[in-house]
């Protein structure tokens, strides 16, 4: 895992980045690896891939963070990327793999109310995706909206959102 994280930091080759991110994502299926990746500063390295211009790299980084977000301590570090993930969801092509990967991460990050405030500005986008997206996109957006709606503090923001 340490060598993969170093490789991710050291290369500018999108194909290598993509493969390293896939491997890290698969490794994150095991809780012991989630802790190891966090302790090796892997969350920051993976999050550093989010601004990539290469859609596949961005998607794989979102997938890796999604798998790593199953751990509460990891969520505490991943939360710094929520605003960036929301912007990615908003700017990605409609129904794209990047958009869906971002929505899946936001679903996991919105299971508890700890980070809902960071998603408020994206509520209009979520509602737009609900009306314009394909069924896959709509289902993923609904998961985020259901999580947000479970928090009474979000009611006003959800009901006042301009679509």
Domain with CATH 1.25.10.10 in the chain: 1-79
pLDDT at 163: 73
Tokens of 69: 């977000």
pLDDT at 159: 92
pLDDT at 162: 82
Summarize pLDDT for 90-130 with one digit per residue, the tens: 999 999 999 999 999 999 999 999 999 999 999 999 999 99
* Whether residue 84 has pLDDT greater than 90: yes
pLDDT at 80: 98
The answer to whether 63 and 29 have CB atoms below 8 angstroms apart is no
3-state secondary structure of 138: helix
pLDDT at 13: 97
Q: What fold, for 1-79?
A: 1.25.10
Summarize pLDDT for 1-48 with one digit per residue, the tens: 999 999 999 999 999 999 999 999 999 989 999 999 999 999 999 999
pLDDT at 4: 96
Residue 15, exposed/middle/buried by CB under 10 A (0-12, 13-18, 19+)? exposed
């Amino acid at each position: 895992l340490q060598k993969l994280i170093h490789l991710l930091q050291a290369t500018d080759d999108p194909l290598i980045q993509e493969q390293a991110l896939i491997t890290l994502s698969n490794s994150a299926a095991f809780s012991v690896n989630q802790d190891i990746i966090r302790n090796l500063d892997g969350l920051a390295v993976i999050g550093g891939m989010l601004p990539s211009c290469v859609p596949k790299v961005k998607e794989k980084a979102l997938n890796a963070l999604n798998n790593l977000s199953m751990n509460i301590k990891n969520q505490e570090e991943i939360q710094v990327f929520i605003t960036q993930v929301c912007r990615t969801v908003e700017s990605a092509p409609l129904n794209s793999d990047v958009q869906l990967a971002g929505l899946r991460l936001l679903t996991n990050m919105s299971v508890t109310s700890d980070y809902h405030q960071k998603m408020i500005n994206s509520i209009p986008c979520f509602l737009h995706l609900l009306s314009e997206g394909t069924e896959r996109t709509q289902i993923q957006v609904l998961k985020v909206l259901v999580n947000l709606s479970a928090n009474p503090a979000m009611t006003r923001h959800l009901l006042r959102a301009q679509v």
